Structures are given as C-alpha cells and as structure tokens.
Amino acid sequence: MILKRKNSQGGTPELVQNKYLLAIVILLGLFSIITVISAIGTYRISIEGSRHLLEIRATDIAVNLGFTLERLGLNPDLFRDLVDSDRWEYLAFLALIDKDRTIILHSNEKLIGRRVNDPTINQVFEKERIFNHFEKLATGEVVFILDFPLKLHISDVNRMDSQGDQMHYVLPGYRQKTLEPVPALKVFCLRVALHPYPARSIERRAKFQLIMILASLTLLWILALFFIRAWQKNYRLEASLAEKERMAALGQMAAVLAHEIRNPLSSIKGFAQLYMEDGPDPYLRQDMAVVVEQADRLERLTANLLVYARPTELNLENFSLDSFCREIVRIVQPYKKGVDLQMRCNNTIVKSDREKLIQIVLNLVQNSIEAMEKQESEKKVIVTVNALDDGLEIVVEDTGPGFPEQIKDEVFEPFVTTKTKGTGLGLAIVKRLVVAMDGKIRTKNRPGRGSIVEIYLPWPEED
C-alpha cells in the first residue's frame, strides 16, 4: 500500500506547490514575451520613424530648392551658401546632376563638372521617382542621401545685372547659344545629404529604452527565482517540521506499541514454543509453529518501528572496511536463500558510525534477497564499499526484477512495499539513517538486469 498525505485540494502538498510554481512561471513567461515583443516593436517603429524623419526633412529641402532654382536659376553659389548657413540644420551637402550624369551644381565647388556613375541616380532618371539610402563618405561619416527627380524650366540667361545688361552663367556642359532666354523643361537629379544626428538620437533613445526593458525583465526574473527558491526553502522547512512532528508522534506510538505488545507477545511466543517442542499432538505443534512465526514477524515490525522512529545519534568509531564486510557476510549467511553475495571492500581504516552502516547495508541486501526470492535465474548481490577522499561510497547491485516504475520514486517512503509480507520500513530506515549522516541516496534500474542503489556518506566533521 502506498500512503501519501493529501490536502484539502485533493492532491499531495508537493504536487500543489509545483502547480502554483508552474502557474507563476507561465504567467511571468507570458508577461516577459509580451513585453519583449512590445519593446522590439517599439524599437523597430522608432528606427523606421527616425528614417522617415530624415526622409521628410530631405524631401522638404528638395521641394524648397526646386522652387528656388525655378525662380533664381542655376546659381553656382546657391548650394554652398545654403550648406554654410543655418537655414537647414543637419544639411551635409547638396548636388544637382543632369541626365548626362554631370554635376552642374554642388555645395563643394571643386566637384562641379565631374561625372558620376551611381546606380541610384540612374534609377532616378529612368523611373523618375524618389530614392533614399545611407552612404559612407570618404571621410568615414555616414550620411542620409535622398535623390529627388527635379523638373525645371531654366534658360542659360538667368537675370540682369545692375546696369540692365544680361548676365550669363556658362556651366560645364552648357553653351550659350542666344542672348534671349529660351525656357526649357529639363529633368535633374537633386541629391540632398543630411547628417543623421536626429535619427541617431532617436535610435539611441529607443535602444536605451529596449535595454532598460530587457534589464528590468532580467531583474524581474532574478527576483522571481529568488522568490521561488525562498518559497521552496520555506516549504522544505515546513515539510521538515511536519516530518519531525510526525516522527515524534510515530516515536511515541512505537514506544507505546513496544511496551504494550512486547510483554504479551513474549508470553505468547514462549508458550507456543513450549507446545511446539513438547506437545504430544503433531497437529498442535504445527499450529504453534505458525504462532511462533507470526510472533517473530510482530517482533521485527516493532523493532523496525523503533529504529525508524527513535532519534538518530551518531556514534563514531574507527574500524576497518574489510572487517566490516566480513561481519556483513556472517550476518547474512543464514538467510541468503541461494543468493551469491559478493563483497568488494578494501582494508582501509575509516571513522564513521559502524552500527548504522551495518543496518544500512543489511537492509539493502535483505531487500535484494527478498526481491529475488521467487526468481529462477541467476541470483547475485554485489556490495561495493569504497573510501573516497571526501566520503564513503556504498553501491549495492542485484540481478533481480528491479524497482517497479510506478513506485520507483517512493520506495524509501515508510510503508511503501510490493511484498505481501513486507512492512515497508526496511528502505525507509535506510533513507532515514543516510539523511541522519548527511548523505545522499539514489536508485537506478537496469532493465532485465536488476537494480542499483548508490549511497554517498561524507566524512563526519571533526570536533
């Protein structure tokens, strides 16, 4: 029978606690995912918005320049004056390029007359629409460039001087053919380059906001993990206190049982043995043998209850592992039941609680022997005891059926057993003694080849 504590919600405390923790983690995870998605979306919108801001500013400059050039003509000083002035902030340079890919106006006069071979400018003339991109200059600076298709009605004669004479601008690639203005519609590519300072400022703020959100989520997860660990620690403390209270109650019950059962049980067993040995009726002797057997079983049960329930105090002593293993073999010899017991120990001198170690190994060996009781194949138990640098290692292997999967994680709980005559206290006593010695225990199943129980006991601290 498997006994478990249940709470009012219909589940074990461990299961209920895990459900609460899982719900908290799921909610926190959903919140984190939504927050991250929102932050990334905001960051992308900010990046797009910063580029859109540059595009709007560059377009505004291009349109205004279009009106200015239409009104004033191709003044070679215009672009330079605009870049040097504060009229348009963040303006890097201006250029006007004709269909021959020749720069006819530029804020840098040294570049006027040069030909350019730029795929973007080619597309501007082919498709007559706006294109924009970022470009790295020879100085290493990255600027935002907008190429704007500009249609102008211009002539080679632009305006009159103060004496009323016509002034002519003879530009590279242009020849003065007449003194009379001959308006013509021409398509140019107006290139506007802006310093991306405002956009970079927006991007930095968006990146800072994203980093702060991610840092806040990280801090939230750290606090949540700290809270979960504190909750688990508090739960383990409460469970430990409850276990101690339960063990105290069980100890009191065991003491009462031992006092109330042992005396009459000894009398029953004594009279039964007397009738079994000296009784004239053979049938009566058989019945008395059953009484004696069941009395022995009750004695073992009360003894196990006392061992499991009484407080465990360590009695340290120095002893040889070799003599320890020989004693295990001597004790197990009467009830091996055809099992091949192999002890692998060395002659190392160790300091530990010898009696508790004997109890641990005997319970494990007895459990393995009883598990293979009805087995017809090879029956073998191998006990390995190794003295390590930091503790004692005990490994018990057998060739039995292994631990049933449905109770594999509960075999060390009291009263958990698959045997019809078992009390379910043998392995529970093992775990209690191992925990009392600050050790660790774990089990392994080898399909078709038995089970393995591994125990690690650290060396006790010197006073």
Per-residue confidence (pLDDT) for residue 249, from 0 to 100: 75
- Token pair, residue 293, equals 């057997």
How far is Cα 429 from Cα 368, in angstroms, rounded to an integer?
15
Residue 159 lies in a domain: yes
213-217, 393-397, 398-402, range with the lowest pLDDT: 398-402
- SS3 of residue 76 by DSSP: coil
Domain match, 325 and 452 both: yes
Mean pLDDT across the chain: 78
**CATH code of residue 328:** 3.30.565.10
Average pLDDT of the segment spanning 430-440 = 86
* pTM, two decimal places: 0.46
For 79-123, write each residue's pLDDT tens digit.
888 888 877 778 889 999 988 899 989 988 888 889 988 888 989
Q: Contacts from 20-25 at CB under 8 Å and sequence distance 24+? A: 21/228, 21/231, 21/232, 24/224, 24/228, 25/224, 25/228
62 closest CA partner among 130, 155, 123:
130
229 in a structural domain: no
What is the share, in percent, of the chain residues with pLDDT greater than 70? 80
Tell me the average pLDDT across 419-438: 76
Between CA 113 and CA 100 the distance in angstroms is 11
What percent of the chain is modeled with pLDDT above 90?
5
The predicted-structure confidence for 122-166, as pLDDT tens digits, reads as follows 899 888 899 998 988 888 888 999 999 988 876 544 433 334 444
The domain boundary, picked from 137, 164, 195, lies at: 195
CATH number, position 74 = 3.30.450.20
Q: Starting at the edge strand that comes first in sequence, how are the strands of the sheet with 391-398 ordered?
A: 340-344, 380-387, 391-398, 450-458, 440-446
Identify the domain containing residue 78 by its residue range. Answer: 48-195
DSSP-derived secondary structure letter, 415: T
- Per-residue pLDDT, 9: 42
| Residue 345 counted as domain residue | yes
The total of structural domains in the chain comes to: 2
Is residue 124 within 8 A of residue 149, CB to CB? The reply is: yes
pLDDT for the residue numbered 255: 67
Residue 411 has pLDDT above 80, yes or no: no
Residues 178 and 303: their CA atoms lie apart, in Å, by 128
* pLDDT tops 70 at residue 446: yes
pLDDT of 5: 41
Q: Specify the higher pLDDT residue, 47 or 394.
A: 394
Q: Is residue 14's pLDDT more than 80? A: no
Of 166, 195, 224, the last residue of a domain is 195
Q: What is the pLDDT of residues 21-47, one digit of tens each?
A: 788 888 888 888 888 888 888 888 888
Picking from 176, 195, 214, the residue at the C-terminal end of a domain is 195
Is residue 7 scored above 50 in pLDDT?
A: no
Q: Tell me the per-residue pLDDT of 239-255, one tens digit each, with 9 for 90 and over.
A: 778 877 876 776 677 66
Residue range 276-285: mean pLDDT, rounded: 72
What is the predicted pLDDT for the residue at 256? 72
Question: Where residue 421 falls among pLDDT bands split at 50, 70, 90?
Answer: low
> How crowded is the C-beta side of 178, counted as CA atoms within 13 Å?
5
Structure tokens at 150: 């500009």
Mean pLDDT to the nearest integer, 179-188:
65
Domain membership of residue 274 (yes or no) is: no
Best CA proximity match to 196, nearest among 135, 129, 255: 135
- Report the pLDDT value the prediction gives residue 73, as an integer from 0 to 100: 78
Domain identity same for 319 and 190: no
Six token digits for residue 149: 């298709």
Instruction: Please answer whether residues 336 and 299 qualify as being in contact, where contact means their C-beta atoms are separated by less than 8 angstroms.
Output: no
User: Is 308 domain-assigned?
Assistant: no
Written as six digits, the tokens of 164 are: 């009323």
**How many C-beta atoms surround the C-beta of residue 129 within 10 A?**
10
Q: Which band of pLDDT confidence, cut at 50, 70 and 90, is reported for residue 177?
A: very low
Please determine, for residue 403, whether its predicted confidence score (pLDDT) is greater than 70.
Answer: yes
Give CA 201 to chain center in angstroms. Answer: 35
Residue 369: inside a domain: yes
Q: Report pLDDT for 416.
A: 66
> What integer is the mean pLDDT of 226-236?
84
Of 215-219, 337-341, 404-408, least confident by mean pLDDT is 404-408
CA pair distance 424, 416, nearest whole angstrom: 5
For residue 24, being part of any structural domain is answered with no
Residue 431 has pLDDT above 50, yes or no: yes
**The pLDDT of residue 51:** 85
Give strand ranges (E) for 345-407: 349-352, 380-387, 391-398
For residues 224-244, average pLDDT: 82
C-beta separation of 81 from 65 below 8 A: no
Residue 259 lies in a domain: no
- pLDDT the model gives residue 6: 42
The more confidently predicted of residues 177 and 281 is 281
The per-residue pLDDT for 172 is: 39
| pLDDT of amino acid 189 | 92
Q: For tokens 């038995």, what's the residue? A: 450
